[in-house]
Copies of this chain bind each other. A is one copy, B any other.
Amino acid sequence: MKPVYGTVYLVGAGPGAPDLLTLRAAEILKRADVVFHDALVHPDTLLLAQNAEKIAVGKRCGKQSTAQRFINKRLVDAARKFNTVVRLKGGDPMLFGRAQEEIAALRAAGIEHEVVPGVTAALAASAGLGISLTQRGLSRNVVFVTARVGVSEADHDWAASAAAADTAIIYMGIGQAALIAAMLAARGVPPATPAVVVENASLPQERRFPLVLADLPHIAELGIAGPALIMLGKVFAAAKKVSIATASGALAALS
């Protein structure tokens, strides 16, 4: 007889604010038996999983992390023991979430699984700024990209995609901002291209820094510790008008 396994839900926790979770995600968390979550998921989101064991497996740049293969194995093992297993990821699972490796492991083990999409950080940052990522006459497309800083030709492809798009959102790029700026400049992106760095999008401690591309090598001075996006493109020329006071202060300090 075939053993009966549970279902694994790969769930997007959204950009940070607990009420930017979807209704479906909230419902699944309520009946979860176990939740494997990224380090950055909001504590109030985890509280929704009132009956579940919560296990932090989340990766965070430069901090301790659980190896992906070990996470895959734990998901499979949990589905053999529990009905409802949740893998809770920041943002959306299918965008920079390493979901494919987990899906492949679940498929190989014959475990039922379902992906619940979430609000990705770029959309929350855009909402906070009051600046649409696409705009008539200014931007007809937007690329979401992670930068790869290296020496091979392939390492430079990300910069080509960012340079070709009207609006570019760089995820997880703060630590490499100087190299990112240099690689984009090498692709012909003008130094005066408007840029906004948004830290902790959608959270009370959200900070927005309206800059230009040429400022990126200096952003270490901003003391960004939370998850952050680098947003680039003409649409962000409007950012100064709507940015918060702290951002203006930081901008002044930079120049």
B100, A135: Cβ atoms under 8 Å? yes
Q: Mark A22-34, 1 if CB is under 8 A from B, else 0.
A: 1110110000000
Complex CA distance for A127 and B118, rounded to whole angstroms: 10
Contacts of A117 in B (CB 8 A): 15, 20, 119, 123-124, 126-127, 202
Q: Which of B27, B94, B124, B132 makes the CB contact (< 8 A) with A134? A: B94
Complex CA distance for A166 and B157, rounded to whole angstroms: 9
B123, A95: Cβ atoms under 8 Å? yes
Complex CA distance for A73 and B126, rounded to whole angstroms: 23
Known interface pairs A20-B24, A103-B132; A142-B141 also in contact (CB < 8 Å): no
Q: Mark A4-30, 1 if CB is under 8 A from B, else 0.
A: 000000001011011111111011000
Contacts of A39 in B (CB 8 A): none
Contacts of A17 in B (CB 8 A): 24
Contacts of A113 in B (CB 8 A): 130
Q: Which of A53-61, A143-151, A206-214 is the interface stretch?
A: A143-151
Further pairs besides A94-B127, A163-B164: 15, Cβ < 8 Å = A12-B123, A15-B117, A94-B133, A95-B142, A100-B135, A119-B119, A134-B144, A134-B146, A141-B143, A141-B145, A141-B161, A141-B162, A142-B143, A143-B165, A157-B166
Q: What is the interface of chain A, defined by CB distance below 8 A to chain B?
A: 12, 14-15, 17-24, 26-27, 92-101, 103, 113-120, 123-124, 126-128, 130-136, 140-146, 148, 157-158, 160-166, 202, 235
